[in-house]
Structure 1
Amino acid sequence: MMRRVILALTLALLAACTGKPGFDDASLSDRKLNLEEFFDGELVAYGQFQDVFGTVRRQFRVDIKGDWDGKRLRLQEDFVYEDGATEQRVWTLFKIGPDSWQGTAPGVIGQAVGQEQGDRFNWRYTIDLPVPSADGTSETMRVSFDDWMWQLSDERLFNRAYMKKYGVDIGDVSISFEKLR
């Protein structure tokens, strides 16, 4: 028992020491990300979840349909996982300031909040995330996301999302988005 406690504390300490992006980091480009412009239309994304040890646990493809009506950005995300499982998440986002956003989706606890700065966007929220169980059913796990997105070009955006459960890092999700013409 004591061995497990020491291991858990060691892992928590190591996770707390990992570097994470911030708006104080130097910008690597002079691009200006406009979330409503980038996500308006059809996109495809590819991603994977890695645990804190770096082991890839799940990979996926997402087909996204975005619709910006001048006030609201609606994102319909259709996920297909490597095991054939599917999931749909529909986000509704509102621009509440020149560079500020709020939004929600089924499973999100309260409001997600986001901030644009230069070529970056930071999106934070807590969600009851569906997770497959060993018997083939799905359970939910409440996790917090700290999403960081960088616009790489007019057609590409990279996303790294840091996940926590009970305040402890459990892994991250890397996603590459591409606008379809």
Structure 2
Amino acid sequence: MRAFIILILSLGALITLTACGKPSLEDAKLSDKQLNLEEYFDGRTFAYGQFNDRFGTVRRRFEVVIDGTWDGETLTLVEDFTYADGSTEERIWRLRKTGPIGADQTWEGTAEGVQGIAVGEERGDTFNWRYQIDLPVPDRDTLRVDFDDWMWLLEDGRLLNRAYMSRFGVDLGEVLIFFEKQ
């Protein structure tokens, strides 16, 4: 019985630790800006980012060129990644608004490797995007991971992205990306 209690307490501590310190759409807004995904990503955007493992070690750096088009119903994002090791990858997202017109917008999206439908919500200067994806990784074919992706509109056409990556509820690390509208 004692081992069972220790197991339950350990699992509770693990769940508490993995849930700490993450953003919420209910967080106080720090600006009066309104992020509008279809306007921000229409045209060409450049991004620079890196993946940090759960210990904070930088494991991979990359640049991304994003060509976006909005046809009034679908936002298509063609993302061309170039990694520091010289490898490349292309991902094409197709996003569609699903909520009522107004200050807060909900979205759904698909891309190759995404399991099911990605769902997101745009609120003020913030966008939260959640999905499960099979990511290509060095020395493996793919790795299925969950993303809890956060974007915040900054000044002068800049967007900050912090994505928490996990597998089976265990944090693997985070992706930090800085977008610049051109």
Taking structure 1 as the reference length, the TM-score comes to: 0.89
Identity of aligned residues (%): 60
| Residue 102 (structure 1) aligned to one of 101, 104, 108 | 108
Give the Cα–Cα distance (whole angstroms) in 1 for the partners of residues 12 and 116 of structure 2.
32
Structure 1 equivalent of residue 4 of structure 2: none
1:132 match: secondary structure: coil
Closer/same/farther in 2, CA of residues 172 and 26 from structure 1, 3 Å limit? same
Q: 1:70 aligns with which of 63, 69, 72?
A: 72
1:123 match: 129
After TM superposition, give the deviation of residue 96 of structure 1 in Å: 1.1
Aligned with 1:174: secondary structure? strand
Q: Indicate if the aligned counterparts of 1:12 and 1:169 stay in contact, CA closer than 8 A.
A: no
- 4+ residue runs over 6 A deviation: 8-11
Paired residues in the alignment total: 170
Q: Name the CA distance, whole Å, in 2 between partners of 1:80 and 1:14.
A: 36
The answer to whether the aligner puts 1:41 opposite 2:43 as a matched pair is yes
Contact 1:47-1:175 at 8 Å conserved across structures = yes
* Range with bigger deviation, 15-24 or 113-122: 15-24
Please, what TM-score do these two structures have when normalized by structure 2?
0.88
What is the alpha-carbon root mean square deviation over aligned residues? 1.9
CA distance in 2, matches of 1:145, 1:154: 27
Unaligned 5+ segments in structure 2 are 1-6
* Distance in structure 2 (CA, Å) of the matches to 1:96 and 1:117: 14
User: Structure 1: how far apart are the matches of 2:142 and 2:12?
Assistant: 26
